[in-house]
């Protein structure tokens, strides 16, 4: 008999069957909380997760993208014609292209010796010993020769340097702003490809005649597939004054966003453009955009250059994209998540019920039941915990080793 009881008691917990019991609580407050939280969760899943976030779709972001840019337009500035070759850089247009709007030109620079600019540290001098030969100042224009010379046609003296002479700060000529550039256009062709869905799209309509692209201008409503933007339009959309850009230069981002719902008609997958200035604002010391380049020529066998500091409007094209298409797996996963979440409400209500409402422990008594059926003929087999009859049933067990 002892052995049998021992084995049965070893598996006391194991042989118990637990089953949830439905308990209907007639409590208005709890009922209202239950329904409201349930409604919130259902609304969240249907409206936000399924309708807004399209959780039933398989999605792909970051499409493969190809960008080609080209500037168009010409104007007379002073007495030189400014055509695309003159003002547009770099010559092959990728996702970055810039138009020169203003130049500071330093003509006829040759390798030689001349006076350093007076604003360079320790460049002012009165005698040769003030200038250390071989010294090169990082903010200066060249290497010092050790002589103190007259500053061009002024009366004061600065250290002499070996450099491209005359120096830019002294000789640069400010040219007029290219105001006409406000009507120049930039063509931004963009083709994207979503490899997962094998969908390719372009921001240029194919069917139109080939002259269409040469004369059209982008319009959000009528000409959405004409990616010809006036520089003035881009500046305006980015909230910048074109005349301000002409003075300091600036970088403007053209963002193309492709948001494609492939469950709809393919024509619904349209490019959306937005514009924003990317460099620091006007009042910042280092704002604007400029760079230097030179044109070289030969004069009696000596190399001579025209150095140009160009202030321009740089356009950076940045492409974003995402595509989504119905797929059974995300649909099932999100459905299951939704249903599970609705079930969580009962845990919340149980907690409220047992913590706040159940003051006299009526509910908890009902909620946690232990049921045992006493067998009349074999009282030894009754293994349920009856505290009064068997206060410490486990202590009566023999040691398993003996």
Ligand X SMILES: *[C@@H]1O[C@H](CO)[C@@H](O)[C@H](O)[C@H]1NC(C)=O
Interface with ligand X (CB under 6 A): 179-180, 182-183
User: How would you classify residue 288: left for phi > 0, otherwise alpha for psi between -120 and 50, otherwise beta?
Assistant: left
- Closer to ligand X at the Cβ: 81 or 200? 81
Helices 328-352 and 28-43, packing angle to 10 deg: 160
The least CB distance from residue 74 to ligand X, in Å, is 12
Q: Is 185 annotated as a binding residue?
A: yes
The least CB distance from residue 249 to ligand X, in Å, is 18
Residues 6+ apart with CB under 8 A from 389: none
- Closer to ligand X at the Cβ: 38 or 77? 77
The least CB distance from residue 42 to ligand X, in Å, is 56
The least CB distance from residue 223 to ligand X, in Å, is 16
SS3 of residue 176 by DSSP: coil
**One-character DSSP codes across 198-219:** TEEEESS-SSS-TTHHHH---B
Helices marked H in 185-295: 212-215, 231-237, 242-248
- Closer to ligand X at the Cβ: 242 or 258? 242
Q: Which residue is nearest to ligand X (CB)?
A: 183
C-alpha–C-alpha distance, residues 61 and 132, integer Å? 60
C-alpha–C-alpha distance, residues 292 and 288, integer Å? 14
DSSP state of 222: T
- Give the CB-side neighbour count of residue 284, counting CA atoms within 13 A: 9
Q: Is 283 annotated as a binding residue?
A: no
Q: Is the peptide bond before 44 cis (omega within 30 degrees of 0)?
A: no
Give kind and range of the element (H or E) at residue 345. helix 328-352
> 183 near 73, Cβ under 8 Å?
yes
Report the DSSP pairing between strands 199-202 and 250-261.
unpaired
SS3 of residue 372 by DSSP: coil
Q: Is 155 annotated as a binding residue?
A: no
C-alpha–C-alpha distance, residues 396 and 303, integer Å? 111
The least CB distance from residue 185 to ligand X, in Å, is 11
Q: Is 290 annotated as a binding residue?
A: yes
- Closer to ligand X at the Cβ: 29 or 183? 183
Q: What value, to the nearest 5°, has the Cα angle with vertex 86 and ends 84 and 91?
A: 65
> 251 near 314, Cβ under 8 Å?
yes
- Closer to ligand X at the Cβ: 78 or 134? 78
- Closer to ligand X at the Cβ: 222 or 378? 222
Give kind and range of the element (H or E) at residue 60. strand 57-61
- Closer to ligand X at the Cβ: 147 or 179? 179
- Closer to ligand X at the Cβ: 98 or 185? 185
The least CB distance from residue 76 to ligand X, in Å, is 11
- Closer to ligand X at the Cβ: 72 or 180? 180
The least CB distance from residue 187 to ligand X, in Å, is 17
The least CB distance from residue 180 to ligand X, in Å, is 5
Query: Torsions phi, psi of 335, nearest 5?
Result: -65, -45
From the list 55, 322, 52, the residue with the least C-alpha distance to 201 is 322
Q: Is 296 annotated as a binding residue?
A: no
The least CB distance from residue 183 to ligand X, in Å, is 4
Known binding residues are 185, 290-292, 309
Instruction: Summarize the annotated binding site for ATP as residue ranges.
Output: 185, 290-292, 309
């Amino acid at each position: 008999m002892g052995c049998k009881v021992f084995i049965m008691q070893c598996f006391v917990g194991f042989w118990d069957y637990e089953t949830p019991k439905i308990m209907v609580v007639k409590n208005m407050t709890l009922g209202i909380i239950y329904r409201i939280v349930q409604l919130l969760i259902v609304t969240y899943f249907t409206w936000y997760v399924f309708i807004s976030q399209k959780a039933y779709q398989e999605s792909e972001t970051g499409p493969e993208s190809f960008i080609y840019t080209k500037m168009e337009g010409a104007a007379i500035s002073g007495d030189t014609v400014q055509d695309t070759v003159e003002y547009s850089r770099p010559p092959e247009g990728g996702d970055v292209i810039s138009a020169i709007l203003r130049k500071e030109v330093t003509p006829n620079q040759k390798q030689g010796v001349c006076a350093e600019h007076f604003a360079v540290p320790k460049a002012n001098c009165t005698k040769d010993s003030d200038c250390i030969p071989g010294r090169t100042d990082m903010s200066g224009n060249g290497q010092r020769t050790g002589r103190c010379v007259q500053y061009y046609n002024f009366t004061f003296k600065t250290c002499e340097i070996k450099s491209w002479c005359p120096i830019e700060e002294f000789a640069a000529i400010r040219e007029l702003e290219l105001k006409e550039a406000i009507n120049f256009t930039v063509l931004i062709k963009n083709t994207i490809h979503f490899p997962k869905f094998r969908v390719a799209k372009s921001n240029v309509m194919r069917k139109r005649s080939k002259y269409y692209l040469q004369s059209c201008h982008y319009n959000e409503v009528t000409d959405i597939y004409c990616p010809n933007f006036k520089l003035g339009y881009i500046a305006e959309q980015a909230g910048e004054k074109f005349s301000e850009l002409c003075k300091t230069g600036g970088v403007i981002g053209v963002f193309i966003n492709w948001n494609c719902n492939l469950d709809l008609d393919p024509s619904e997958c349209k490019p959306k453009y937005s514009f924003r200035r990317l460099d620091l604002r006007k009042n910042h010391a280092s704002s604007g955009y400029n760079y230097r380049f030179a044109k070289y020529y030969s004069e009696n066998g000596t190399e001579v250059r025209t150095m140009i500091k160009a202030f321009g409007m740089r356009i950076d094209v940045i492409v974003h994209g995402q595509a989504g298409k119905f797929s059974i797996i995300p649909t099932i996963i999100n459905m299951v998540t939704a249903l599970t979440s609705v079930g969580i409400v009962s845990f919340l209500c149980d907690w409220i019920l047992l913590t706040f409402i159940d003051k006299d422990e009526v509910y908890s008594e009902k909620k946690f039941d232990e049921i045992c059926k006493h067998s009349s003929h074999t009282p030894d087999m009754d293994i349920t915990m009856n505290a009064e009859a068997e206060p410490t049933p486990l202590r009566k067990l023999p040691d398993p080793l003996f």
